[in-house]
Amino acid sequence: MLFDLVIGHELTHGFDSNGRHHDQFGNQRLWWHPNTVDRFIKKSSCMIMQYNNYTVKIHGETLNANGLLTLGENIADNGGVKQSYRAFRRSQQQRPNEFYLPGLNMTHDQLFFLKFAQSWCQIMTDEGMIDALKTWRHSLGKFRVIGTLSNFAEFSKAYGCQPGTPMNPHEKCSVW
């Protein structure tokens, strides 16, 4: 499943805030129709604002994530989990018992999302976190999980998240 996530993530980069400026040969070229660019910018602004609202408290100070800096990776995370989930569901239909774990009272979908969340576990020093918030193009691991899964209706359905809660907001951001 982790392989599917990586493939989906990387493929989505071809259509993110950076990939949209390169054609199928990797040449820098504006190849999208202007209407597509307009829709992309509008949908991207939702994701920028969403991630800008994520905060961490370090040394008594509240620091915000930078949704613009991390936009390309956030788009890839969100698109990648969708592609991986689709592949997982197709595989599940062909081999329904393959992903079953005895003793765990979790559905196959819940296990899928648990694995996704576990893939972003990280331990960082406060200084490392400050540096990451200022310079990294990837969101902090917990924001990658919260941001991606709160935008994905299938997650909310799998875990029974009530509408309007943090993990099932009324407004979900989706670029693709």
- Percentage of residues in the chain having pLDDT higher than 70: 93
Whether the predicted pLDDT of 69 surpasses 90 = yes
Spatial distance between the Cα atoms of 144 and 25, rounded to a whole number of angstroms: 29
Q: Specify the pairing of strand 61-64 against strand 55-58.
A: antiparallel
Q: Which pair of structure tokens corresponds to residue 144? A: 């990658």
As assigned by CATH, the class of the 2-159 domain is alpha beta
Active site residue 10: yes
Mind listing the pLDDT tens digit for each residue in 114-157?
999 999 999 999 999 999 999 999 999 999 999 999 999 999 99
Provide the 8-state DSSP code for 25. Answer: T
Residue 145's CB is within 10 A of a number of other CB atoms, namely 22
Q: Which pair of structure tokens corresponds to residue 107? A: 């559905």
Whether the predicted pLDDT of 40 surpasses 80 = yes
Active site residue 109: no
Mind listing the pLDDT tens digit for each residue in 150-162?
999 999 999 999 9
Among 10, 23, 126, 127, the active-site one is: 10
Whether the predicted pLDDT of 98 surpasses 70 = no
How many degrees, rounded to 5, is the angle at CA 52 between CA 50 and CA 58?
A: 130
Question: Do residues 56 and 140 touch, judged by C-beta distance below 8 A?
Answer: yes
Question: Do residues 51 and 67 touch, judged by C-beta distance below 8 A?
Answer: yes
Q: Which residue has the tokens 């509008």?
A: 42
Among 4, 16, 73, 77, the active-site one is: 77
